[in-house]
Amino acid sequence: MDDQLLTGKRVLVVEDEMLVMMAIEDMCADMGCTSVSSAATVEQALAMIDDGPFDLATLDVNLNGDRSYAVADALGAHGIPFAFSTGYGDHGVSCDYRHRPVLNKPYNSRQLTEVLSALLAPLAVNPAAPSAT
């Protein structure tokens, strides 16, 4: 995948584990993302989505015991592509959301780059597609 798709992008990282959040932020910055914002709770994430704008997001399924599906719905409603991030494997994501990409923890920079680039690839091929910009 082409990590140049990520250059200049604004990413929302929804993650409750501080060290994991910091690692994702660093990886996104290394990929050329210009803005990486983080939320640790469903409430924080929903407020940030409303304030936006974001080009894409990563979303931990389990935020300190709360499922993040309301955040997934808000991202979808705003046309923001996203991938789930979970330590529970593909089965950690509700059936209603299994069509979304899943990053299985732990993952590395290459895996994150591939998934995030894949999220943006349809927009690069079809510039008329809706975007968060």
SS (H, E, C) 84-101: EEECCCHHHCCHHHCCCC
- Reported as a single tens digit per residue, the pLDDT across 31-79 is 999 999 999 999 999 999 999 899 999 999 999 999 999 999 999 999 9
Q: Give the start-to-end residue ranges of the domains of the chain.
A: 10-120
Comparing 85-89, 108-112, 126-130, which segment has the lowest mean pLDDT? Answer: 126-130
| Rounded-to-integer distance, Cα 106 and Cα 71, Å | 22
pLDDT band (50, 70, 90) for residue 5 = confident
pLDDT number for residue 43: 98
Non-local (6+) Cβ contacts of 20 within 8 A are 60, 105
The hierarchical CATH code for the domain 10-120 is: 3.40.50.2300
Residue 54 sits at the vertex; the CA angle it makes with 95 and 127, to the nearest 5 degrees, is 90
